[in-house]
Amino acid sequence: MTPYDHLQRRDWGAAFGLLLFVALMTAGYYYNVTFVQLGLIDLGVRLVGMSRAAVSVWMAVLALLTFVVAVGFGVLMDRRGWSTNLRAKLRVLFLVVVVQLALTLAAPTVRTVPAFAAWILAASVALGVGFPASFSLAIDCVPVPDRGPVAAVITAITYGAANAYPVEWSIDAFSRLMVVAMVPGVLVLGLLVSGRVRPVERLLDDLSGRHRRHGTGRFCRESPVETRSVGFLAPVMLMFGVFFVDSLGFLRIIETPALILTAWQSPSMETRLLIAAAHVVGAVVAGVLYVNFDLEWLFLWVFALFSVTYVFYTSDLRLAAWLPASGVGSGSVLNPAFYSLTVSVYTTLNFALWPDLSTAETVGTRTAVGVGMAGWLATFCSTAAALYLDGAAVPLLTHLNLVQALALLLVFGLAVALYARRTVQVARTGREGSP
Amino acid sequence: MTVSTEIIPLLVVVLLLLSASGGDVERMEVVFEGTHPVTAVDDALVVGGGEVTVPAGTTVEGQLYVIGGALVVDGRVRGDVTVLSGTASVTDGAVVTGRLDAVAGGATVADGATVGDLRRVEPTPAGRSPAVRYGFLAAQALALAALTAWLSRRRPRALATVGDSVVNHGLVSGVVGLLAGATLLVLFVYMAFTLILLPVSVLGLAGLVVVLGYSFAVYGYLLGRRLPVERVDAASALGAAVFLLALELLGTVPVLGALVQFALVGVGFGAVLLTYFGLHEFEPARIPE
């Protein structure tokens, strides 16, 4: 079944659900990767006058608080039964978007450290409440077989737009853009939760019962997966590793003008379009891989891609050290393009994975723990590690070498773990079969 | 100054050539910009950009490689000069005691200059006569047909398994093939720069060619099954030759032809990897409705 099949069968409820999920997740993720991740650095450094390290500490606080709030709210959602109540989730999201709109409008006016801290606290609460509420919509809106392709579409649109559409990396530019995008979003969500538009109510009624069919995710169908079991915790730890590797490397890359000005902040439209295209290709690749391979293979792909990405970066830097006159190491657009492809692959996996590791009754907690641990806690830890390395004046090559070693270790470790598991299975089968 | 990425593969080629000739790559010098009169060379000198001159009355000993920029020999070079890109000119009265290999780029030798051995390689097919071009294609087709016939006799099930992946799982085969192919290709090129891994890099590139050849044999087998030839090995061999010819013809169609070639190669490459060379049938993960 593809999204096109829903339209062909005139299943408007399913088509509306997919559209709603893609729109909400795309908007939310775009807000996160642009306004939160890039805009706050500019706000703290340029407008508030803090040091880069101090802003990084506050970003880490944001990540940690978001994680705590998300887990708390996710558990609350499951206990109160909000996870299976579509209208309740939409009402929560409406409130979250209204708060975020207010925060977005207020951000460029922040000038003092206490105001910046208050802003961070409020944003953490909004983000923490928002993402279990939004991720859990998957059980109402996205049939299990569609989750890979839908995740690919969200990733492709988000990163494609973020890279192809030229926005200055400043809080003012991000704020203006986000306000323009959020106002219609608030109106649409307001319409959805108003309860007064009959056709909308019919669509929501249709969607409300779908969690009974779509609620049990792909990886929970054959046997139930407990939150404290290896079946759930192993993907959480692996995804933590993925985000940690990415964040630790990228934090250093964006602080290196030679690397960032020839890639994500390049004045050349062609370069940015190439990076956007790499993101779209990566998302499509991940969408195809997700529906054809089991989870362990997907993680192996991601770690292998990260390893190769950092081999490229470190090889260029080594070459530049060996042949200083060559200028290699700063100019190749292949490295950021490959990096972008890799990021799209794991982002797609992240969007599809957590609902597929949940049931309708556990989706709040699982998505909160999954995205929170992997996304936010990993960011917190990697920021701390990056600050430590920065303080120790570790050179760029050594820093990226460390990230590469970590990626290689993870790909090797995972391969060994899979092989060991298979060996144990074979040994058990042999024992059972022996006389 | 930033050197274009295209120079990296040429540097790898130089590393390979220098290693093969017993040169010391650690002592290799590379020039990327500016004008440089050279009076001495350690072991090898690579001109990657700018202009390097061997002044009149000067003798330099070593290997000279041109992969960009210009080399002007007014004096004497005791060694070989290899031009892979850029230009090299040996002026009136200048001497190159060894070979001057003009593989690509431009090489001019003045009437009054002395060159031990001048070789010009014409790699472009347009430069070849039709007989040579078609002869080369026929030789490739024969070799592929022989490989396909042998495989279809010895490993028909393996070819069928890979073929099944090509036909029934084309999308995932293509994605895996293009992703793995592109990644491995670049990885092997980068491996060459570590010098220590140079042999692994060469082996890896050879491995990619083997996988590609195997996938072409699978296409031949698939085509052969549709040909009105009874014997499987003969049909597969004929199919392989037809496939290679079709691939060559596709190359003459602008843009679309190249895209179809690219897709066919990607799907075949991925199918071979997914099925472990046909030893194991590919089964996509089961996703419940």
pLDDT (0 to 100) of residue B1: 44
Nearest-Cα distance to chain B for A204, in Å, is: 21
CB contact under 8 A, B172 and A218: no
* Lookup: tokens for A46: 């340029």
Q: Which residue pairs from B29-32 have beta carbons closer than 8 angstroms and sit at least 24 positions apart in sequence? A: B30/A323, B30/A325, B30/A326, B31/A325, B31/B69, B32/A323, B32/A325, B32/A326, B32/A327, B32/B1, B32/B3, B32/B68, B32/B69
Can you tell me whether residue A373 is helix, strand or coil?
A: helix
Contact B220, B197 (CB under 8 A): no
Query: Within 10 A of A1 (CB to CB), how many other CB atoms are there?
Result: 13
Give Dmax (Cα) for chain B: 82
Q: Which of A385 and A366 is assigned the larger pLDDT?
A: A366
Closest CA relative to residue A419, chosen from A430, A431, A427? A427
- Which residues of chain B does A327 touch, with a Cβ-Cβ cutoff of 8 Å? 1-3, 32
pLDDT (tens digit per residue) in A136-191:
999 999 999 999 999 999 999 999 999 888 778 889 999 999 999 999 999 999 99
pLDDT of the residue at B128: 65
Q: Give the 3-state secondary structure of residue B250.
A: helix
pLDDT band at A428 (very low <50, low <70, confident <90, very high): confident
Distance of CA B47 to the CA centre of its chain: 21
Confidence grade of residue B2 (pLDDT, cut at 50, 70, 90): very low
Residues in Cβ contact with B121 at an 8 Å cutoff, skipping those fewer than 6 apart = B101, B102, B103, B104
Residues for chain A: how many in total? 435
Which chain B residues are within 8 Å of A285, Cβ to Cβ?
175, 179
* pLDDT, position A323: 66
Q: Which chain A residues touch B if contact means CB-CB below 8 Å? A: 1, 143-145, 218, 221, 284-285, 288-289, 291-294, 301, 304-305, 308, 311-312, 315, 318-319, 323, 325-328, 330-334, 338
CB nearest to B288's CB, from A144, A289, A318: A144
When pLDDT is cut at 50, 70 and 90, the band that residue B187 belongs to is confident
CATH number of this structure's domain A3-433: 1.20.1250.20
CA distance A38 to A173: 11
Tell me the C-alpha distance between B128 and B113, whole Å: 28
Q: Cβ of A218 and B2 within 8 Å?
A: no
A33-47 pLDDT per residue, tens? 888 888 888 899 999
Which chain B residues touch A1 with a CB distance below 8 Å?
289
Please give the structure tokens belonging to residue B253: 């169609």
The predicted structure's pLDDT at residue A308: 86
Nearest CA in chain B to A307: B187
B4 interfaces chain A, CB cutoff of 8 Å: yes
Give residue A412's pLDDT.
85
DSSP helix/strand/coil, B225: coil
Query: Which B residues in the span 31-50 are in contact with A, Cβ-Cβ below 8 Å?
Result: 31-33, 48
Q: In this predicted structure, what is the pLDDT of residue B62? A: 86
pLDDT digits (tens, 9 = 90+) for B206-251: 999 999 999 999 999 999 999 998 899 999 999 999 999 999 999 8
- Give the mutation candidate from A307, A315, A348 for the B interface (greatest B CB count, under 10 A): A315
- A299 sits in the region (left: phi over 0; alpha: psi -120 to 50; else beta) called alpha
B137 touches chain A (CB under 8 A): no
Give which of A272, A241, A283, A187 is closest to A373, Cα–Cα. A241
Classify the C-alpha dihedral A356-A357-A360-A362 as positive or negative. Answer: negative
- Mean pLDDT on B169-182: 93
ipTM: 0.77
- Which among A143, A319, A330 has the least Cβ separation from residue B2? A330
Beta strands, E only, chain B? 28-31, 35-37, 44-47, 51-54, 59-61, 63-73, 76-78, 81-90, 95-102, 106-109, 114-120
